[in-house]
Amino acid sequence: MVAVTRTPLTAGNWKMNLDHLQALALVQKLHWTLKDAKHEDGSVEVAIFPPFTDLRTVQTLIDADKIPFALGAQDLSAHTSGAYTGEVSGAFLAKLDCRYVIIGHSERREYHNETDEVVAAKVQAALTHGLVPVVCVGETAADLEEFGASAVPVGQLRIALAGVPADADIVVAYEPVWAIGSGQAATPEQAQDVCATLRTVVAEVVGEDAAARTRILYGGSVKSSNIAGFMREPDVDGALVGGASLVADEFAAIIRYQKHVGV
């Protein structure tokens, strides 16, 4: 595989937390915290994924204060427009300067019956509208016991990426369901094993160049105290952070992992 440098990506998935006023406060605090710490922008890409109703407010703040955070949404419709009550089009997200969109999070798969086929359609919709899909895959505790760690995420990723063009910009997030919100993160070795396997899937389905440049994130109970271990692994290119992204100091410390620990 071609050797390339991948800029680490630290992504904060807020899930259904914080209204648009609370969002303003958190983004401002996070920005100031990083500034106070003299964080070097550019060493790590930071992306935040607030609820839909916060996006316009956060976009305006990022733009006005020139805050170096990318914006993303937590989901999108597989359709572009029309009679789909309650759905949000990728076209609308692109107009809000969203760069990323999370697709196939396990909470959507579990509570909204999103199948691998729906996930694949949403990946295509994201690419149609110029958004970078953050494709989430991961096994449940029962899957882990029955099939081992890689089988389910590999199957999910193969379907999600079918038909993705070789030059597409994508991000993959490996989020073992048993590690999400449980305080029980995977070990760095477990994350590395699965992320390396997922990279071979990107190579097979999309192409070798795509595999070399695609960021593969680990997600599931990431904290400032365990981030360094993951980031030392060669195939883990960042983190998709849930709960810890809602606390400015903690998320800033995760973003600054290069400083507070030897990597």
Least Å from the CB of residue 83 to ligand 13P: 30
**CB of 254 within 8 A of CB of 244?**
yes
Length of the chain: 263
List 105, 114, 139, 233, catalytic entry: 105
Burial of residue 85, with CB atoms counted within 10 A of its CB: 0-12 exposed, 13-18 middle, 19 or more buried: exposed
Cβ closer to ligand 13P: 205 or 241? 241
φ/ψ of residue 72, rounded to 5: -145, 165
Does 219 bind ligand 13P (CB under 6 A)? Our answer is: yes
What is the Cα–Cα distance from 163 to 206, expressed in whole angstroms? Answer: 8
Whole-number Å distance between alpha carbons of 157 and 162: 8
The yes-or-no answer on residue 79 being catalytic is no
Q: Least distance to ligand 13P from the beta carbon of 1, Å?
A: 27
Do 211 and 1 meet the contact criterion of CB atoms below 8 Å apart? yes
Catalytic-role residue among 45, 107, 175, 233: 175
Instruction: Based on the shown chain and the rule CB under 6 A, indicate whether residue 175 belongs to the binding site for ligand 13P.
Output: yes
Asked if 23 touches ligand 13P (CB under 6 A), the answer is no
Q: Is 216 in the site for ligand 13P (CB under 6 A)?
A: no
Pick the piece of the chain touching ligand 13P (CB under 6 A) from 37-45, 63-71, 154-162, 234-242.
234-242
Phi/psi of residue 41, nearest 5 degrees: -65, 140
Q: Annotated catalytic, 204? A: no
Structure tokens at 28: 């401002």
The H-or-E segment that residue 95 falls in is helix 90-95
Q: Is residue 132 part of the contact set for ligand 13P (CB under 6 A)?
A: no
Q: Considering only residues 222, 248, 253, 254, which one is a binding residue for ligand 13P as defined by CB under 6 A?
A: 222
153 forms part of the interface with ligand 13P (CB under 6 A): no
Does position 241 interact with ligand 13P (CB under 6 A)? The reply is yes
Query: Cα 226 vs. chain centroid, distance in angstroms?
Result: 17
**Known catalytic residues?**
105, 175
Binding site for ligand 13P (CB under 6 A): 13, 105, 175, 180-181, 219-222, 240-244
